[in-house]
Amino acid sequence: MGKYSIGAKKLRIGDVGAAGIMGTGLTAYKPYKGTVNLTEEDPTNTPHHAENARYPDVVVTENGATNFNFEIHDMSAANLAKFVGGEASTDTWTSGTDHFQIEQSVEIDTIFEETWQIPRMMLTGTITWAANRTDIARIKVSGMVLQPEGDSTLPLKKIPTPTTP
């Protein structure tokens, strides 16, 4: 039987580790159902042709970005400040006036006991809410996988989910 990755059992986010490696002691967040997406963009191929040639002599390929999106519906002041920016106190949040983004380490545990690790990701959040009686306010977070600073650290890794004692 093959190995399959399905479902977001846990989502943990926190500070990037020293020297740009995978962070530790990440905080768990409950993602809104069906919103966790990790997607690699298609590569871009640029063909180079000789004059009047039908087929290219050389094709240069540039890989697309790896994007990550999720939503949470816990609109606590701390979560708003973490993902949207601004200032938070115990139960009060005020938005900032500047563009906000944050570099974080991210881990996703699947229901098949696999953990996807992203040591360095740029995250930005927005508030999405149809203020009616059937929809719920959510923080929509978009991210892009970045190259880790540590030479021996890879940008994306899948490992067996560590067991906790």
Written as tens digits, the pLDDT of the chain (165 aa) is 457 788 889 999 999 998 889 999 999 999 999 999 999 999 999 999 999 999 999 999 999 999 999 999 999 999 999 999 999 998 899 998 899 999 999 999 999 889 999 999 999 999 999 989 999 999 999 999 999 987 888 999 999 988 765
Which residue(s) pair with 39 in the sheet?
A: 67
Name the E strands within the chain. 10-14, 27-29, 37-40, 44-48, 58-62, 66-72, 87-88, 93-94, 102-109, 114-128, 138-145, 157-160
Q: Where are the domains of the chain?
A: 10-160
pLDDT at 22: 92
pLDDT at 1: 42
